[in-house]
Amino acid sequence: RKAVKQTEGIVAFHDDQPILAVYHSTSGGRTENSEHYWSEQLPYLRAVEDPFSVNSPGHYSTATIGLEKLAEVLDVNKASNFKIIERYPSGRVKTVEVGDKWLSGREIRQRLALRSTWFTAEILGNEMVFSVWGYGHGVGMSQYGAQGMATSGYSFTEILQYYYQGIELRETY
């Protein structure tokens, strides 16, 4: 309640327009540029290093799926040739080749219910094991990162201006 009262009426702007203040649970160590998850490049949604969220329970996770089930979910004949082709500078997966298809990291995340697009994949026996960093799309403010910054003494202004590059905070009412 205190935080809400202290920030009442304050709005973040970029180029005289209110920003799209997207956020996610945990970055995994680095946030992502907006156009790498969605199609629009927004100047204030730029990737930043994020060491503040390392204590999040969502910082690292694993997920395992049988190769037959993986092929079924990805709608390919076989999944044993699953290969990450390209990554964004953040480390998140851009493109995967599997079977006779090319899929985006976002498609893989959605179809397999992975916590983020920042993952590695390794075949162990008849299963694919995914190691995953972060929780969410990774764009904008990391909730656990913001909490980590706050407990380290950063102000709400410093936190918002860290995750949303080049913004101006204005008292609007």
Q: What is the pLDDT of residues 130-155, one digit of tens each?
A: 999 999 999 999 999 999 999 999 99
The rounded distance, in Å, linking the Cα atoms of 6 and 95 is 43
Q: What is the pTM of this model?
A: 0.92
Mean pLDDT of all residues in 75-80: 94
Pairing assessment for the beta strands 23-24 and 141-142 based on DSSP bridges: parallel
Task: Determine contact, residues 45/164, Cβ cutoff 8 Å.
Answer: yes
Q: What pLDDT is stored for residue 29 in this prediction?
A: 96
Q: How confident is the model at residue 4 (pLDDT cuts 50, 70, 90)?
A: confident
Q: Is the pLDDT at 76 greater than 90, yes or no?
A: yes
Q: How confident is the model at residue 122 (pLDDT cuts 50, 70, 90)?
A: very high
Pairing assessment for the beta strands 17-18 and 83-87 based on DSSP bridges: unpaired
Instruction: For the chain, give the mean pLDDT.
Output: 96
Mean pLDDT of all residues in 82-111: 97
Q: What pLDDT is stored for residue 2 in this prediction?
A: 87
The rounded distance, in Å, linking the Cα atoms of 75 and 59 is 29
Mean pLDDT of all residues in 63-91: 96
Q: Residues of the chain with pLDDT > 70: what percent?
A: 100
Q: What pLDDT is stored for residue 1 in this prediction?
A: 92
User: Tokens 């480390």 correspond to what residue?
Assistant: 91
Compute the residue count for the chain.
173
pLDDT greater at residue 6 or residue 158: 158
Query: Burial level of 64, CB count in 10 A (0-12/13-18/19+)?
Result: exposed
Rg (CA), the chain: 18
Q: What pLDDT is stored for residue 6 in this prediction?
A: 87
| Closest-CA residue to 68 (of 137, 8, 146, 128) | 128
Q: What pLDDT is stored for residue 145 in this prediction?
A: 98
| Closest-CA residue to 159 (of 170, 147, 173) | 147
